[in-house]
Structure 1
């Protein structure tokens, strides 16, 4: 992910903005001139000792930064696994816990995603005050406790409540993990680390049900929760032993405290150590700004609406796979879970193709249309094939399942759908980062909130949709809506994006 240089001017005028001071909101290059200006004005200001300071996380050893990236990716992988691992076990869960209504069973699955819409609003400001490491591990411990408790539930209500709080705790891994990558990698170095990190968050919901199917068939649905808790405990132990704090304000705060003790100068401080920088203000900004952007920015509204729909479709497919494979194709729960690999293959192919093409297209447009100057809209061309692959995949998947064709046919359709989802997510994420460089965290939080609501709601109506229209016409309806929302989006943003950005006080250029 790359964040454009327009953050420099915005940060110079909004130096007191907590979000503008976080590494996730600015490029490393944009921080250098700000530090220089403040050093000249304040001799007591504690900063890095030049651009090559070994204490700066971006200058840590390559092996150390990859170790931190892998740990952050592991946290961000294990939580999405929980979102869907119980999908193959919904029948067994409903039977044992007397959850007779389909709605109640699917609610126990999707309530996790609903909770993940709210967790980042607390985890974000806490990490800005106290650092990435303690907040990430505290929220993960919260998730670990309630996820384990899910396995001991004796009623449907207990399961739903525990799932909600597990989702709340698990949601911190995504928002803080992305911040960790911004802390330790320079802009030009982030490509591979971000690809691995985002691939893990996408593969989690597909690997989960695959494992859940075998666990449910050969053990008990309760072990779908306990197995995740055991894996998560291992990650927590590794993080306790080998994970270091990466957040620049916290590290510089420690440096300032050490220098105050060594020099006896009580006035030494960092630019983040101000009386007005309180948790209350950070929390209010974290809550208010995403909704302010969402209600005032047409660009973000278009992106959030489309991504929310695609995200909802993904979880709708994940939740209805067991119905298709165990009833219409009469597969066992464990073998049915193997079909989730089709979605994973689509994600992997989409990642590989889109990652290679998006930079090539951007550079070509920058040279030919921009005369050497890049524009955020140069991220959009690949959104069109993604917007076409999503409905094509849904249509293929639906009608091949409807006509009971060989199992490979629905899997091909869902793989095409998965590749389209990856194209859409990668293009829109990069475009949003380029459009809102200073407010990237808030724009991401707004999008995450809307898509989490969609991910929660879509699986709830899925059984009724397919009961009424079956897989053929049901997926055709979903595909047509995806076509109407997705295809106009890149054209609208390509032609109207520049003028909307110029009129926006939050957007770049």
Structure 2
């Protein structure tokens, strides 16, 4: 009856002044961009964390020239990498939340540009203190690329399978970059150019990629795009009531600090899943950089290899990373894709974990293999090949844990990624 219909709960009235996407095919919605354009944007995005991650470890083979020039010990010289990683730790807690406030484009462009800028004082440094300070700030600002790129990719790739593959490629830059760094740095340092040119080259490449991104990288964050659209429609229609959902919330400094800057800390304090995954992935990333100190000792000091040749031992880890990438992409396109198809519209983050379990078993095997074959009397191929299971395991664990976090905290992905990073 009419009376019974009126007694039933009714949906809230639709506010026609709230701006949204113009249907599922709205060209302004990043999800609807052409496939080739998405690939291009993804390539531009991934170039930024790649150069930053190469820069993170490119000085690892310059320890002897630095120690000799500035009269510092090995323990102090390691700070060139340690302080960079310290900046890498705190930077995402700033840049990740800011990208949810101001959009993705400007925080990442500013961050990478300042990363390159702080490479210049290192190249020109007349004392070791300058190197330490600038390496910290270089890591702080360079971390913007790692903190923001993951969230940006989730803005443009809609389905779990495509988003997962995009994140696979992104995380590859976080592993391949630091592995390539010592190889490139060794050949530059041992050439007539010297160690200072490791920073010149890093700055030149970073500036070049930042310029390309400035002219080609669009804004991708939906709430920011809808706010811009609302502003444009207000002036076109003279209807000053038009607004986006985002504009219904306060935008003062207090809300900026509370909602954006504090959110990663709140997530770390209240989300056990995020805390445990973060601890595990942090251990892996620390282990990767520990190898940058262990490999020169094992191959250059113990086996008496030249620095350039010794740096090539990192190719074992690099091959492992690429095999891990092939493995997780295969899993995404087969097993994971079938699981998604069997439950349309339902995202189960735990489906990301089986490859991570395999990697967790493979990692200690690879570490034992590396340690067992590290004696100089053991043929060198056995030790180099040990890097393959180590590299594959670290990559698979890291990428699957990363995607798991994105799936669990999809609406606040950048803050969760920032807390994790």
Aligned 1:125-274 pairs, distance under 5 A: 125-187=97-159, 188-218=161-191, 219-274=193-248
Q: Distance in 2 between matches of 1:254 and 1:161?
A: 38
Where does residue 384 of structure 1 map in the other structure?
Answer: 357
Deviation at 1:229, TM superposition (A): 0.7
Does the residue aligned with 2:89 lie in a helix, a strand or coil?
Answer: coil
Checking the alignment, whether the CA contact within 8 Å between 1:130 and 1:250 is kept in structure 2 is yes
Q: Distance in 2 between matches of 1:222 and 1:241?
A: 30
Deviation at 1:419, TM superposition (A): 0.7
Deviation at 1:446, TM superposition (A): 2.4
Where does residue 505 of structure 1 map in the other structure?
Answer: none
Checking the alignment, whether the CA contact within 8 Å between 1:358 and 1:382 is kept in structure 2 is no
**Unmatched segments (≥5 aa) in structure 1:** 1-36, 449-509
Deviates more, 1:415-424 or 1:209-218: 415-424
Q: Distance in 2 between matches of 1:201 and 1:387?
A: 19
Deviation at 1:205, TM superposition (A): 0.2
Where does residue 413 of structure 1 map in the other structure?
Answer: 386
Deviation at 1:174, TM superposition (A): 1.0
Where does residue 292 of structure 2 map in the other structure?
Answer: 318
Q: Does 1:106 align with 2:75?
A: no
Pairwise CA RMSD: 2.5
Deviation at 1:193, TM superposition (A): 2.4
Identify if the C-alpha distance between structure 1 residues 129 and 194 changes in structure 2 by more than 3 Å, giving closer, same or farther.
Answer: same
Paired residue for 2:256, among 266, 273, 282?
A: 282
Identify if the C-alpha distance between structure 1 residues 138 and 373 changes in structure 2 by more than 3 Å, giving closer, same or farther.
Answer: closer
Where does residue 12 of structure 1 map in the other structure?
Answer: none
Q: Calculate the TM-score normalised by the size of structure 2.
A: 0.90
1:274-331 deviations in Å (ceiling 9; x for gaps): 3513354233334433333333433333322222222211110123222222211211
Identify if the C-alpha distance between structure 1 residues 179 and 279 changes in structure 2 by more than 3 Å, giving closer, same or farther.
Answer: farther
Deviation at 1:361, TM superposition (A): 4.5
Does the residue aligned with 1:330 lie in a helix, a strand or coil?
Answer: coil
Does the residue aligned with 1:162 lie in a helix, a strand or coil?
Answer: helix
Where does residue 464 of structure 1 map in the other structure?
Answer: none
Deviation at 1:271, TM superposition (A): 0.8
Q: Distance in 2 between matches of 1:280 and 1:93?
A: 45
Q: Distance in 1 between matches of 2:310 and 2:267?
A: 42
Q: Distance in 1 between matches of 2:48 and 2:180?
A: 15
Deviation at 1:362, TM superposition (A): 4.5
Q: Does 1:68 align with 2:68?
A: no
1:362-386 deviations in Å (ceiling 9; x for gaps): 4677899x99976433332222321
Identify if the C-alpha distance between structure 1 residues 53 and 171 changes in structure 2 by more than 3 Å, giving closer, same or farther.
Answer: same
Q: Distance in 1 between matches of 2:419 and 2:201?
A: 32
**Unmatched segments (≥5 aa) in structure 2:** 1-9
Where does residue 4 of structure 2 map in the other structure?
Answer: none
Q: Distance in 2 between matches of 1:247 and 1:139?
A: 17
Where does residue 92 of structure 1 map in the other structure?
Answer: 65
Checking the alignment, whether the CA contact within 8 Å between 1:112 and 1:168 is kept in structure 2 is yes
Checking the alignment, whether the CA contact within 8 Å between 2:57 and 2:178 is kept in structure 1 is yes
Q: Distance in 1 between matches of 2:394 and 2:272?
A: 22
Q: Distance in 1 between matches of 2:258 and 2:156?
A: 27
Q: Distance in 2 between matches of 1:39 and 1:392?
A: 58
1:449-468 deviations in Å (ceiling 9; x for gaps): xxxxxxxxxxxxxxxxxxxx
Where does residue 409 of structure 2 map in the other structure?
Answer: 436
Checking the alignment, whether the CA contact within 8 Å between 2:93 and 2:264 is kept in structure 1 is no
Q: Calculate the TM-score normalised by the size of structure 1.
A: 0.75
Checking the alignment, whether the CA contact within 8 Å between 1:351 and 1:423 is kept in structure 2 is yes
Question: Aligned pair count?
Answer: 410
Checking the alignment, whether the CA contact within 8 Å between 2:61 and 2:182 is kept in structure 1 is yes
Deviates more, 1:61-70 or 1:44-53: 61-70
Deviation at 1:76, TM superposition (A): 1.2
Deviates more, 1:373-382 or 1:176-185: 373-382
Identify if the C-alpha distance between structure 1 residues 279 and 53 changes in structure 2 by more than 3 Å, giving closer, same or farther.
Answer: farther
Q: Distance in 1 between matches of 2:365 and 2:400?
A: 19
Q: Distance in 1 between matches of 2:150 and 2:348?
A: 23
